[in-house]
Amino acid sequence: MQDSIHTYFKLGVVSAMMYAPWLQQGVSWPEIVKTVARDDCFDVVEVNPIPDAAQQEEVAALARQGHLTLCYGGQGRLLGSGLNPNDLDEAGRRKAEDTLKAGVDEAVRLGSAGMAFLSGHWTMERREEAYRQLLKTTRAVCDYAKDKGIRVELEVFDHDIDKKSLLGPAPLAARFAADMRTTHSNFGLMVDLSHIPMTRETPQFVLRTLGPYITHLHMGNTVVDDPAHAAYGDLHPRFGFPHGENDTAELLSFLRVLKEEGFFNREDPMVLSFEVKPWDKEDVETVLANSKRVLHRAWALLED
């Protein structure tokens, strides 16, 4: 493509993944957001829950200062606590609903226009009950978020490999999104290139099935060919990682389908973020450069 990718997308980074080693070393959220804000390659920084109120305020100020769109990922509110928004136990489901509503409030404080989350564990014999519970939670959260101007985005994960989430396969996610859109216009789906191999689907199938409901995109890698591999599952290793499913060719294919399906939008660019995590002792800045190089090459090969 001759046009810049920034013409059609807001390019972002999921900071809790890319800068995971820094967070583990005690680097603060404001320092991480400042690092992203100083890199004009990025239009977006995605953050996880930030427990400290002072850091929330500083992060919000840094995003405004850097003319950086901030996106809030509420997935950690569920994964870190073991809560399940499709819990068949009503008390457990209500706890998940409550923490997601608290996530909406945090998104408002941070200046985010949206909050993302994921569905929970399920069993085949009670899948329809879990589906109804997820609808109940999501509608309640969307109701709560609507008056605050917040969009609620459900991220499509794997359904039987790592997170083992109800959503899950693209046809079921499309059914869910269609049900949600009959009552709530502030609901959308987040699709991640790295999750597609885990659902045994293809970018073409996923993007065409979910197209009308997608509001947010991620790109990354996964290992699924060997359950014994240390990086198996939803660990988001770098592009080109041994046994990985996604590299330049796969990202190019992803971009081609996005173009064919009308996701290239000059007037209202969608967020397209790297969700990549340095593996073991890999260097953060080198892995970040890897991600940019792969994207730049794929974009250069994309036909006008």
What does the pLDDT look like over 75-94, one tens digit per residue? 999 998 999 999 999 999 99
Are the beta carbons of 41 and 11 closer than 8 angstroms? yes
**Tens digit of each residue's pLDDT (9 = 90 or more) over 126-176:** 999 999 999 999 999 999 999 999 999 999 999 999 999 999 899 999 999
Q: What angle do CA 251, 253, 255 make, to 5 degrees?
A: 70
Place of tokens 């085949």: 124
Are the beta carbons of 152 and 185 closer than 8 angstroms? no
Q: What pLDDT does residue 80 have?
A: 86
Name the 3-class secondary structure at 119. coil
Distance CA 20, CA 273 (A): 16
* 194-204 mean pLDDT: 97
- State the average pLDDT for the chain: 97
Name 14's Cβ contacts closer than 8 Å, sequence gap at least 6.
46, 73, 218, 273, 274, 275, 276
Name the 3-class secondary structure at 116. strand
Q: What angle do CA 205, 207, 210 make, to 5 degrees?
A: 100
* 225-243 mean pLDDT: 96
* 13-29 mean pLDDT: 98
Bridge partners for 117 per DSSP? 154
* % the chain with pLDDT above 70: 100
**Tens digit of each residue's pLDDT (9 = 90 or more) over 98-122:** 999 999 999 999 999 999 999 999 9
Delineate the domains of the chain, giving CATH numbers in brackets. Answer: 5-301 (3.20.20.150)
